[in-house]
Amino acid sequence: MQILESKKIGERAYIEELESGLKIVVIPKKNFNKKHAIVGIKFGSIDNCFINPKNNKKITIPDGVAHFLEHKMFEQKNGTNSLDTLTALGVNANAYTTDTHTAYLIECTDNFDEAYKELLDYVQNPYFTRENVNKEKGIICQEIRMYEDDPTSRVYQNVLQCLYKNHPVRIDTAGTIDSVNSINKKILYDCYNTFYNPSNIVISLCGDFNPEEIIERTKNMIVQKESYKDIKRIYPEEPEEINKSMIIEKMEISTPIFVIGIKDKPKYGKEYVRKNIAIEILCNILIGNSSKLYKELYDNGEILSEITFEYQSSTDFAYLLLAGQSKEPEKVLSKFIKQIKSLKKKGIQEEEFERIKKKVYGGYITEYNEVSDIAKMFMIDCLEKVNTFDILDEFLTVNLDYIKEILNEVFVEKNIAISIISTN
């Protein structure tokens, strides 16, 4: 068993990697009432082409399979639905699918042992029939139509269409109505048997646990399967340049919303961690709620909400998104680009850098107050082969010179696009 420790915050993580490659991560929190468990599978919406490890043949699947699979996992052979079973126990249970992974989770103060057994049972025992797959198609198609009518979903989807020409990250997680209707039982089992493999799974737990005890209990509930040490994914060649600089779509909305996107190149391990920190600091300096630009835009009525930042990076893609509300989104973009150029020319003041760095560091620290945040954080980082505690340690290595390097590397005008949902 590997024990990771952060003396800065007095936290420990216990990690057990089984022979199969499955990882169990436990972050004990003494005297916490809530317990949280999350099972993460490195299978997301971008994984639509891969080599079947059983026969070494290339498989191309319809868009939306990872999301469809997530929906179907709750249904059991005995006619029960695990979501209903968990809810009846008074447990908060859920699941979600992203570009890069699928996750199933529970959180509760009581009945954890029974709920945890149910969680591991349904994730390891799929049950797909032609009838239940066809029934689910209608439900998911209805969900797709709902999101097509949702301005927030549209503005985010459109900015990825701007940034990417070929990469499947540009496709909605749920797929399209046509792609969903082409999914069948065989496709679901092929994907389950490939990706829901122990070597591709992380189980993360946070709460008042005895680490050795919960790890041993977990090991006893793991179904023994042949392990695939490496699942080969195939992604299309993606040009460095963005696909288009702007998409404007009109919808029934009271105030226009926008997302500015910046296409980036992925980095790995500690270098990814450092870059992530630097980008968050730079976003705060450029247009955060204590920045000069934010104050100017807000005082002029040119933005109507705080700008939110989101940086995503995985094996084959990376992008930064900045979202907000404005009656004049194109003016916000113009001033943002002007601010980037000004910062590159004039430089960043040491005092401002240190102030923002402390603020960002404080945000990372507060994530350790909530068991769900901690468990999810470790699960995602473990899937991406990152040591979560490195994030806190790497703050020391992020200096002004490195910030300038990332400013010049990432915040490049030709890599910037904007998606706008405007009023009718």
Q: What is the mean pLDDT of each run of 10 residues along the chain (424 residues)?
A: 87 93 95 96 96 90 96 91 94 96 96 96 95 93 93 96 96 95 95 94 97 96 84 94 97 95 90 92 95 93 92 92 96 97 93 93 88 95 88 88 96 97 90
For the record, the structure tokens of 125 come out as 């025992």
**How high is the pLDDT of residue 379?**
96
- Fold of the domain built from segment(s) 2-221: Cytochrome Bc1 Complex; Chain A, domain 1 (3.30.830)
Read off the pTM: 0.92
pLDDT reported for residue 46 = 96
Asked if 324 contacts 374 with a C-beta cutoff of 8 angstroms, the reply is no
pLDDT at position 328: 94
Q: What is the pLDDT of residue 420?
A: 97
Residue 268 confidence (pLDDT): 82
CB atoms inside a 10 Å sphere around CB 330: 14
d(CA 165, CA 27): 40
What residue ranges do the domains of the chain occupy?
A: 2-221, 246-423
pLDDT at 8: 82
Evaluate whether 2-221 and 246-423 have a shared fold. Answer: yes
Alpha helices in 75-229 (DSSP H): 82-88, 112-124, 130-148, 151-163, 177-181, 185-195, 211-221
Predicted local confidence at residue 366, as pLDDT: 87
Query: Which residues are catalytically annotated?
Result: 70
Classify domain 246-423 by CATH number: 3.30.830.10
Contact 112, 205 (CB under 8 A): no
